[in-house]
Amino acid sequence: MKKSISLLFVLFTLPLFADITFHDVAHQVLNDTWNELYRCGLQRIDAYDPRLPRPQVPAIDAVVNSKWIVLAYTNEEFGSGATYYAFKNPNGGLPHSVTYGRDRIEFTTPYAGVIASASRAMTVGGPIYTYRCANQYMDPNNWAACVRNYYTMVIANQLCRYPLN
C-alpha cells in the first residue's frame, strides 16, 4: 500500500520552464519583487551608502522609502551548491528568502516557512519536475501564480505600507 501511495505524487514535465534554470526562475521572481517595490515608491540603494546608517546585518542593498528610512536589507550568499537571497529586517530576525541550486528552489517566509518549492529529478526518459506551493502539488502556471501571491506580494505589501514614513 505504501508503494501505491508514494506513486500518487504528481510529477510534471516542464514545457513552460524547459529551457529555464532555477537560477533564472529565482531572478525572475526577485526582479518582479523589486518592480513591485519600485511601483510603490521604494528605492534600492547600496547598503553601505554613507547617507544610511551602517547595516546591523550582512547586506548588499537597502530598501529605503522616500525619507531614506531603511525598511529592509538584501543579501546574497553562495555555497554548498546553492545560492541564498534574502530580504532581511534591518534589526535582524527571520528573512524572506529564496534558495536555489541546479535541481531545487525554495521560497521561504518568516511566517510560514517554505511556502513554495520546485525540484528536478533526472530519469532515463529525461528530467521530471515537481512543483509545490501552499502545501499543494500543482502545475507550473499555478505554481508561478502561487509564488507571486505568497512570496512577491507578501514582501511588497509588507514594505509598501511605509513609503512615506
pLDDT digits (tens, 9 = 90+) for 40-98: 999 999 999 999 988 888 899 999 998 889 999 999 999 888 899 999 887 667 899 99
Whether this prediction's pTM lies above 0.75 is answered by: yes
From CA 55, how far away is CA 104, in angstroms rounded?
30
* Whether the predicted pLDDT of 113 surpasses 70: yes
* Whether the predicted pLDDT of 164 surpasses 80: no
From CA 25, how far away is CA 100, in angstroms rounded?
9
Q: What's the confidence (pLDDT) of residue 156?
A: 93
Q: Which residue has the higher pLDDT, 127 or 107?
A: 107
Q: Helix, strand or coil for residue 150?
A: helix
From CA 64, how far away is CA 69, in angstroms rounded?
5
Amino acid (1-letter code) at residue 6 = S
Question: All 3 cell numbers of residue 75?
Answer: 543579501
Mean pLDDT (whole number) for 118-126 = 92
* Whether the predicted pLDDT of 136 surpasses 60: yes
- Dihedrals φ, ψ of 79, to 5°? 160, 160
